[in-house]
Amino acid sequence: MSTVRVLVVDDYEPIRRFICSTLGKKPEWQVIGEAPDGLEAVRRAQELQPDLIVLDLGLPGQNGIEAARQIRNLSPRSKILFVSQESSADIVQEALGSGALGYVVKAHAASELLVAMETVLEGRQFVSGGVSGHILAGGSDSPVLAPGRQDITRSHQVEFYSDDATFVVGFSHFIETALIAGSAVIVVATESNREGLLQRLRERGVDIVAAIERGSYIALDVADTLSTFMENDVPDPVRFFGVVDDLIAAAARTTAGDPSRVAICGECASILWAQGKADAAIQVEQLCNQLAKRYKMGILCGFSLSDFYREEDKQIFQTICSEC
């Protein structure tokens, strides 16, 4: 089994930690270097000649697109995969035009990164499901497209976000996809994130007011929701399923009574983790696993990467990933 040598470039240390942790799932992938800005990325690429470069777009000193163009000349055998919070099709097309083979929207990195890296290493183009708009293939072969708005994955997934803006991008895509597919959606989030989601959904042309009126979009406050099933700082399974089953039943009434056409997204576990309740956060993820299997439904849980900054968080981080 040959070793794949990888250079990771991002100015945000928790993102680099997340990417490196994801790479650790494949023993043949070896992180040989990291860089926090575009100029350093170019220098390290020339020095190390890596097989794969995972590259952010919005870098200090020199942006990712300019860095990619230079890297293509200095390290022509290196394959480049962009991982960025930008989701505009125009920006993605420009990034791919710089010589990169793949593009992953950060809000979708937890579910797409491994597939994207494998695809790019095979010399094929990969385009994230979080991209807004149509992407043209960069070569003779069609790009590998991540699941888009026609496909709601009926499973439990987790996404890691660097800030509230990234959270809104990833979760609004999940919500929009579900509503277009005729599913109902239950959202459990902070007030600011709920407002951000409403604004972005309106901007994208989703008739969210109509969805609210017919009961197919149910938005709940995360703190209030946690209070309904937490007991002594841990989730009580009986109370959890009692609360969630009632919510699903209410939402399912707008989908001809089909609970499998109800999607749930939220940040309950993330809030618990931020409060220092790591065991409770993992238990919530485990309960969500059971819920996804019971109803064969799609569940998306969000975690802020800013909460995973200590070395001792690494094991918890990997445990959370393994639960989804």
pTM recorded for the entire structure:
0.67
- Confidence band (pLDDT; 50, 70, 90) for 252? very high
Please tell me the predicted confidence (pLDDT) of residue 303: 82
Q: How many CB atoms lie within 10 A of CB 180?
A: 12
Cα–Cα distance for residue pair 276/40, rounded to 1 Å:
35
When pLDDT is averaged across residues 244-257 and rounded to a whole number, the result is: 95
CA distance linking residue 33 with residue 111, whole number of Å: 23
Asked if 211 and 187 touch (Cβ cutoff 8 Å), the reply is no
Does the 156-322 domain belong in CATH 3.40.50.300?
yes
Tell me if 4-139 shares its fold with 156-322: yes
Which class is 4-139 in CATH? Answer: alpha beta
Measured distance CA(94)–CA(289) in Å, rounded: 38
* Domain ranges, ordered by start, for the chain: 4-139, 156-322
pLDDT tens figures, 205-219: 999 999 999 999 999
Strand runs labelled E in 198-298: 217-221, 230-231, 234-235, 262-266
- CA 74 to CA 42: how far, in whole Å? 8
Among 141-145, 180-184, 297-301, the minimum mean pLDDT is found in 141-145
CA 63 – CA 77 distance, rounded (Å): 21
Higher pLDDT, 153 or 73: 73
Which pLDDT value is given to residue 110? 78
- DSSP H/E element including 79: strand 79-84
- Worst-scoring range by mean pLDDT, 133-137, 239-243, 300-304? 133-137
Rg for the chain, CA atoms, rounded = 20
**Percentage of the chain with pLDDT > 70?**
86
- The yes-or-no verdict on residue 28 having pLDDT over 60 is yes
Return left, alpha or beta for 8; rule: phi > 0 is left, psi -120 to 50 is alpha, else beta.
Answer: beta
Q: What's the whole-number mean pLDDT along residues 223-248?
A: 96
The pLDDT score that the predictor gives to residue 322 is 52
Question: Which one, of 157, 117, 120, lies nearest residue 269 by Cα?
Answer: 157
Among the ranges 154-168, 236-250, 275-289, which has the highest mean pLDDT value? 236-250
Higher pLDDT, residue 152 or 162 = 162
**Is pLDDT above 80 for 202?**
yes
Distance CA 211, CA 191 (A): 19
- Return the bridge partners of 84, or none: 105
Asked whether 161 and 303 are in contact (CB, 8 A), the reply is yes
The CB density around residue 322, as the number of other CB atoms within 10 Å, is 11
Strand order in the sheet with 184-189: 156-161, 299-304, 262-266, 184-189, 217-221
pLDDT in tens, 174-198: 899 899 889 999 999 999 999 999 9
Q: Which residue has the tokens 């094991």?
A: 315
| Cα 232–Cα 237–Cα 243 angle in degrees, nearest 5 | 100
Asked if residues 92 and 135 have their Cβ atoms less than 8 Å apart, the reply is yes
What is the token pair recorded at 94? 């420009």
Q: How far apart are CA 196 and CA 88, in angstroms?
A: 18
Report yes or no: 229 and 303 within 8 Å, Cβ to Cβ.
no
Sequence-ordered list of residues with C-beta below 8 angstroms from that of 184, at least 6 positions apart, any chain = 178, 215, 216, 217, 218, 251, 252, 254, 255, 261, 262, 263
Phi/psi at 29 (nearest 5 deg)? -95, 130
Burial of 168 (0-12, 13-18, 19+ CB in 10 A): buried
Q: Which of 190, 174, 162, 187 is nearest to 271 (CA)?
A: 190
Average pLDDT over residues 166-176: 86
